[in-house]
Amino acid sequence: MGLALDFEKEKLIIGVLYSTQGLKNKLVEVLTAEFGMADYISDDLDFNFTDYYNSEMGDGIKRFFISFSNLTDPARLAEIKIITNSLEQKFTTEGDRKVNLDPGMLSIERFMLATTKNNGHRIPLHSGIYAEVTLMFVSRKFQPLPWTYADYRSDEYQRILGEIRKKYKEDLKQQR
């Protein structure tokens, strides 16, 4: 029989979509107030993988990734998704979201995202939140799975996640 141990803490990463000029600094301010000091903020990337968000957010949607210095218990992923959903509501205008926040947890082995949408490959956590393993780290690189979104399949996203993974490995060394 295996022993149930505490989970190893992981790196919280939030993928942020927005289209309003000048909003990035405010989003970073709000997210760091909620989740602590950032240790990585990517440059803006054009989000042109789907037009799913255009009706709410308009054209010219950008994505950036932010990760946080404090490592986090991955069991908190559902709680974090509930918080980010609440933050999205604060940036809603006339019923339209102006921001989409996708929290995920990065470990040595994988990157997983939180979602409110059920599917056969998603694991229920609590309060209507599911977890999805989006990328596996195998043979020295991230590997997409059949359900991985097109943007997370991109070399650019995987490069960014790889940079954050290096930071995470250093964080683990410092903790031990």
Instruction: Express each pLDDT in 53-104 by its tens digit.
Output: 999 999 999 999 999 999 999 999 999 999 999 999 999 988 889 999 999 9
Nearest to 112 by CA among 41, 12, 4, 8: 12
Per the document, the length of the chain is 176
3-class secondary-structure state, position 133: strand
Is residue 38 classed as helix, strand or coil in its secondary structure?
A: strand
In the DSSP assignment, the letter for residue 6 is P
Q: Could you tell me if residue 109 is left (phi over 0), alpha (psi between -120 and 50 degrees) or otherwise beta?
A: alpha
